[in-house]
Amino acid sequence: MPHLLHIDSSIQGDRSVSRRLTARAAAAWRAAHPDGTVTYRDLGRSPLPHLDEATGLARMTPAQDHTPAQRASWALTEQLVGEIREADTVLLGLPLYNYGAPSSVKTWVDHLIAPGLAFDPANRTGLLDGREFIVLASRGGGYGAEAPRAGWDHAESWLPHGLEITGLEPRFITAELTLAQVNPAMAELIPLAEESLAAAERAIDGLWVPAAAAA
C-alpha cells in the first residue's frame, strides 16, 4: 500500500506559502493513490529536541552504554528514520529563514544521520534511497542568478549535502518573492511572485497522475 510522509516546518501558520504548497501536493498524491496512507509531522508546531551534550553522543555510543537521555534520543531517531522507511514518498515544506533552513529542519536532519539506521557505517552507503523526496520550498525574496542576492539561499544548497549519506535525494519545487504581497517595497514584484507561485503549483499538479486519469 503506498504511503506518504508529509512534513511541514513553517512557523507562519495559515499564512505560510510552503504549507499551502505541501497541502496541494498531499492532495494530489492522495488523488493519485486513493488506497494510500499518510503520516503527518509538523516541525513548526512541534519541533524536535536539538541534539545537545546530554543526548547527541547517542549516535556514537554503543546502545548498551546509553544513558537514559541518550536512550530516549536514540528512540526518537529510530522513530524518525522509521517514518521515512515506511514512506514511498516524502514531502517536506522548506521555508527560507535568514537565508537558511529553519532550525527545526536542521534538527530533523541531525536526527536522521544515524549509523546502522540511515546509513551503513562500514561503507557509508545510504539506507534510505529508493523513495521519492519532494521539497516544497518558499523564499520571500529572489535569489536567482540575476538577483542582487543570488546565492544567498543556503537552504536549497545545504539540504542535499546534509542528507547525502542517507541516500535521500531531494527534488525542489520553489516559489519565491512570497513577501511581495505584504512588503510595500516589493509591490512592483507582485506579478513575478504570482508567476513563480503558479509555476510551482503547475509543477506540483504534474507530479502524479490520478488513477482515474490513467485508466
Domains and CATH numbers, the chain: 3-214 (3.40.50.360)
Helices 68-86 + 103-112 axis angle, to 10: 90
pLDDT classification of 211: cutoffs 50, 70, 90: low
Q: Could you report the per-residue pLDDT of 195-207, keeping only the tens digit for each?
A: 999 999 999 999 9
pLDDT band at 119 (very low <50, low <70, confident <90, very high): very high
Q: What is the reported pLDDT for 48?
A: 98
When pLDDT is averaged across residues 55-71 and rounded to a whole number, the result is 96
Please choose, from the candidates 43, 13, 9, 7, the residue with its C-alpha nearest in 3D space to the C-alpha of residue 25.
7
State if pTM tops 0.85: yes
Mean pLDDT, the chain, integer = 95
> If you write DSSP's letter for every residue of the chain in order, what string do you get?
--EEEEEE--SSGGG-HHHHHHHHHHHHHHHH-TT-EEEEEETTTSPPPPP-TTTGGGGGS-GGG--HHHHHHHHHHHHHHHHHHH-SEEEEEEE-BTTB--HHHHHHHHHH--BTTTEETTTTEESS-SSEEEEEEEESS--STTSTTTT--HHHHHHHHHHGGGT---EEEEEE-TTTTT-GGGGGGHHHHHHHHHHHHHHHHTS---HHHH-
Residue 196 pLDDT: 97
pLDDT band (50, 70, 90) for residue 143:
very high
The model's pLDDT over 3-43, given as tens digits with 9 standing for 90+, comes to 999 999 999 999 999 999 999 999 999 999 999 999 999 99
pLDDT 10s digits, 88-118:
999 999 999 999 999 999 999 999 999 999 9
